[in-house]
Copies of this chain bind each other. A is one copy, B any other.
Amino acid sequence: MSGNTFGNLFAVTNFGESHGPAIGCVIDGCPPGMALSEADIQGDLDRRRPGTSRHVTQRNEPDAVEILSGVYEGKTTGTPICLLIKNTDQRSKDYGNILDTFRPGHADYTYLHKYGLRDPRGGGRSSARLTAPMVAAGAVAKKWLFEKYGTTFRGCMAQIGEAMIPFESWEHVANNPFFAPVADVSNLENYMDALRKAGDSCGARIRVVASGVPVGLGEPLFDKLDADIAFAMMGINAVKGVEIGAGFASVTQRGTTHGDSLSPEGFMSNNAGGVLGGISTGQDLEVSIAIKPTSSIITPRQSIDTAGNPAEVVTKGRHDPCVGIRATPIAEAMLALVVMEHALRQRAQCGDVKVSTPDIMRSRG
């Protein structure tokens, strides 16, 4: 209700601030009997964590996860799983100069107006650091969905600033710091180096795909699968747009081309992005998101202070010049949480979940 719990049947309650003692989450509703250890979670956290290349924030956080509850003798018990990640590298002094001004494009302004006070250390609760517990929770969901239905989740970078990134292969994604599905990322490296030198930041576009999704997931009117995906994606820090399947391209499509034809072997295209009428078709879920440029930049900006007087704002500290770069594992995790929630709902209402058959053609992958 106050916005810190995601999901209902697989409910993840997130807590912590960027510079407090710890961040974490409590997962309520994980089915019992699944093998689970920290090692199952740490991998995705490592993909998201800062300090792994010169293109992301240099904050050095191991982001080591601890399981505090809900697992007994290596198996989930069906009771709440508390995951704790201690904060180890908080340099609050870097933020001293923004205590009483508002960064353009930042949540400083709205937090203060909403609550009447705010924690300025590293953005406090508005920090993208709070996505780490979601990546951890998503890893738990991914594991259950894979073991149960063979569902997998993959994401990649589709565009950094003006640089469009063609899709070559999923295999390249793990081999470069950009999650780019291409063999050669030298142009991206040059782009980012120039940007950083300019003291500026840029946006990005991420593509996320779930494969092996059961058919029949999603509620038809409001908790449509695609509506929940949009909710999950737009809830990631800095996201400004979400597309399912053909997305905005469907505006100029005709009904004769947009509607995915069927043959006895399955769907023949995937403009739907795996969702019809709010319910999964069993095809790949195809999601695309737009991420805005980081608001914390060292170039001076025109703003005001909390008294309403003009002020020039410069953000020091260690920031990502393109927050989109580390967003890929986050988007995967959020998509996994949505699918997990709806798989459990489907079990509740309809008693079982049907694993989909492979479709013969996937439009965009």
Which residues in A have some Cβ–Cβ distance to B below 8 Å?
1-6, 8-9, 11, 13-17, 20-24, 26, 28-29, 31-33, 66, 68-70, 72, 75, 77-82, 102-107, 109-111, 113-119, 121, 124-126, 130, 159, 161-162, 200-205, 215-224, 226-235, 237, 240-256, 258-264, 268, 271-273, 275-282, 290-295, 297, 299, 301-304, 308-310, 344-351, 354
Contact = CB atoms under 8 A, between A and B. Distances in A.
A78 B115 contact: yes
Given A15-B69, A79-B4, A125-B77, A235 B261 contact: no
Contacts of A6: 222
A48 to B, nearest CB: 16
A142 to B, nearest CB: 18
A106 B290 contact: no
A257 B169 CA distance: 33
Nearest to A148: B351
Contact of A104 (B119, B217, B259): B259
A30 to B, nearest CB: 8
A21 B248 contact: no
B224 A235 contact: yes
A264 B243 CA distance: 36
B301 A264 contact: no
B240 A241 contact: no
B258 A250 contact: no
Contacts of A230: 227, 230-231, 233-234, 242
B70 A255 contact: no
A26 B15 contact: yes
A281 B161 CA distance: 26
Given A244-B234, A251-B204, A302-B268, A17 B227 contact: no
Find the residue from A70, A251, A290 having the highest chain B CB count within 10 A. A251
Find the residue from A31, A75, A82 having the highest chain B CB count within 10 A. A82
A261 B125 contact: no
A250 B290 contact: yes
A113 to B, nearest CB: 5
A75 to B, nearest CB: 6
A272 to B, nearest CB: 7
B125 A82 contact: no
A109 to B, nearest CB: 6
A299 to B, nearest CB: 5
A227 B209 CA distance: 20
A303 B262 contact: yes
A241 B252 contact: no
Contacts of A346: 114
Contacts of A31: 349-351
Contacts of A280: 110
A40 to B, nearest CB: 18
A289 B251 CA distance: 9
Contacts of A350: 31-32, 78, 114-116
Given A230-B231, A251-B205, A290-B248, A2 B345 contact: yes
Nearest to A120: B72
Nearest to A238: B250
Find the residue from A28, A110, A204, A351 having the highest chain B CB count within 10 A. A110
Contact of A119 (B28, B72, B224): B72
Nearest to A102: B262
B248 A32 contact: no
Contacts of A273: 240
